[in-house]
Amino acid sequence: MLQWKNTEDCKTKQFWIEVKNDKDDASDEDFAELGLFALYLLALPSSNKAVKYNSWR
């Protein structure tokens, strides 16, 4: 069973970097694509403009 080190809420980026860089016994990076995808999602800009706009109506 895998044991991740960075599981606190404030360490989200470090957690996904750890997942991306994890290697199994054969040095295969089994979660590299998943970790990279999650890091891309974290880099996307987010906004609550739609929520603010609709609350003014």
- Structural tokens at position 40: 């891309």
List the alpha helices (DSSP H) in 1-57. 12-21, 32-43, 49-55
**18-36 burial: b if 16+ Cβ within 10 Å, else e:** bbbebeeeeeeeebeeebe
Query: Could you read off the pLDDT of 5-56 as tens digits, one per residue?
Result: 777 777 889 999 999 998 888 888 889 999 999 999 988 877 766 666 555 5
pTM (whole model) above 0.85: no
What is the rounded distance in angstroms from the CA atom of residue 44 to the CA atom of residue 56?
Answer: 26
